[in-house]
Amino acid sequence: MAQKPSIPKGTRDFTPVEMARRNYIFDTIREVFSLYGFRQIETPSLENLSTLMGKYGEEGDKLLFKILDSGDFLRGVDPALIEAGDCPRLAAQLCEKGLRYDLTVPFARFVVMHRQELQFPFKRYQIQPVWRADRPQKGRYREFYQCDADVIGSTSLVNEIELLGLIAEVMKRLKINVTIKLNNRKVLAGIAELIGEPDKIIDITVAIDKIDKIGLDKVNEELASKGIGDEAISRLTPIITIGGTTAQRLEQLGELLAASETGSKGVEELQTVLAGAMRMGLGEMVELDVSLARGLNYYTGTIIEVKARDVEIGSITGGGRYDNLTGVFGMPDVSGVGISFGADRIYDVLNALDLYPATITTATKILFLNLGEAEEVRSMEYLMAVRAAGIPAEIYPDRTKMKKQMNYANAMAAPYVGIVGESELAEGKLTLKNMSTGEQKVVTIEEAIKELA
């Protein structure tokens, strides 16, 4: 009996038109990665669960897609776990492998396994899908692409500046107006230190992160509710309400944090990175955002987040510096800095603003009609000549009614149709029809190729 097919929720098919658009995004990112000297790697979709588990927190462990072992997967499984219905621990016995959850952990694993072959600093990029057993919702998928670039084995801030240039170049090519928000983990640490609550940095930054949404009063309420004293809160206020240009705000921040060695270091790093960005002409695009607090458990220096200016959507790119990428795999002290382009959100932005160039098309340049046996043979000769000139071309395979073939040409958005009928056959020519103007003329194949090229 025939079954009505479907696909798992949170996953998508991509039609030719969607693929052309996605390829435009991926190709643009890939080209800029390469222009900036990053080298591509790929890792397997399947990783050992021992590599993945415990790297994304307890919540992350639950969101890993786990692969049921092949064959007799019940062998060696503890019956007590089945009895108790202990699914998490049972899963660990039933499954040895899981699907990649992000590109960072596999990259860390890659670096450790290939350390002898790699030259440091190692600049790698990686564009591959990742999988998360998240609750699917608008704009959130269970299978989606990440596009990551990282430089590891170098502490130089030149890398941060280079990554800002790279982001700006990608966004310029995609015609997306963006703001690149910058912060530094050390500044946040300095703030926590200064107000005498170094242990509460997470609470503080989570609250600061909300300032744009809920305002200062509510942030202060939230800080108080976390047990942060009035004095600390009042010391915090001038910091999170600094005004002026990015350069001015950085200067004030430097003064406010002068007593904190870590905080001062953070301000200094930000100043270096900003100066580099200014020299690259990115001054208008880059701004300091002290409330930026992403990836706090992970980042140790620069924090980067990119927002599209003309669409309401979350961050479309983000990244930062980390100090211990590979420690968990036995290779300590590997510092690096990386960014990740959110291809799916960028796709949504380009769709929302209709930013695709007109040249993106799935269509061949010319479709030859198929009007009879001898005509087909001649058309296929012409077809090969057109392709030999590097021009995508096809022939309608069946000798059906001309109207049906023209409908196909229209549906495929073919810019030209080539027609070889009886008279063209006799003349050694073809009729070349321009599908947008409707104009048609009888030409030699050489003339046709000249027009198509």
How far apart are CB 200 and its own copies at their closest, in Å?
30
Output 47 or 193, the one with its CB closest to its own copies. Answer: 47
Output 198 or 283, the one with its CB closest to its own copies. Answer: 283
Residue with tokens 């942030």: 219
How far apart are CB 448 and its own copies at their closest, in Å?
16
Output 97 or 345, the one with its CB closest to its own copies. Answer: 97
How far apart are CB 347 and its own copies at their closest, in Å?
13
How far apart are CB 436 and its own copies at their closest, in Å?
19
Tell me which residue of 154, 152, 132 sits closest to 141, measured CA to CA.
132
How far apart are CB 41 and its own copies at their closest, in Å?
6
DSSP for 316-338, written as a single string: SEEEEEES-SSGGGT-----EEE
- Torsion on CA atoms 81, 84, 87, 91, rounded to nearest 10: 10
In terms of C-beta density within 10 A (0-12 exposed, 13-18 middle, 19 or more buried), how is residue 393 classed? buried
Output 109 or 186, the one with its CB closest to its own copies. Answer: 109
Output 80 or 258, the one with its CB closest to its own copies. Answer: 80
Is residue 187 within 8 A of residue 270, CB to CB? The reply is yes
CA atoms within 13 A on the CB side of 32: 22
d(C-alpha 335, C-alpha 397), whole Å: 58
How far apart are CB 388 and its own copies at their closest, in Å?
9
Output 120 or 216, the one with its CB closest to its own copies. Answer: 120
How far apart are CB 325 and its own copies at their closest, in Å?
12
DSSP state of 178: E
Output 151 or 189, the one with its CB closest to its own copies. Answer: 151
Give me the residues paired with residue 125 across strands. 40, 149
> 3: helix, coil or strand?
coil
How far apart are CB 105 and its own copies at their closest, in Å?
10
Tell me which residue of 438, 418, 414 sits closest to 375, measured CA to CA.
418
d(C-alpha 57, C-alpha 77), whole Å: 25
DSSP state of 148: E
Is residue 432 within 8 A of residue 440, CB to CB? The reply is yes
Is residue 134 within 8 A of residue 63, CB to CB? The reply is yes
Output 305 or 376, the one with its CB closest to its own copies. Answer: 376
Output 228 or 448, the one with its CB closest to its own copies. Answer: 448
Is residue 170 within 8 A of residue 180, CB to CB? The reply is no
Euclidean distance between the first and the last CA atom of the chain, given in angstroms as a whole number: 51
Output 195 or 282, the one with its CB closest to its own copies. Answer: 282
How far apart are CB 240 and its own copies at their closest, in Å?
32
Question: What six digits make up the tokens of 339?
Answer: 């960014």
How far apart are CB 189 and its own copies at their closest, in Å?
24
Is residue 437 within 8 A of residue 451, CB to CB? The reply is no
Is residue 350 within 8 A of residue 21, CB to CB? The reply is yes
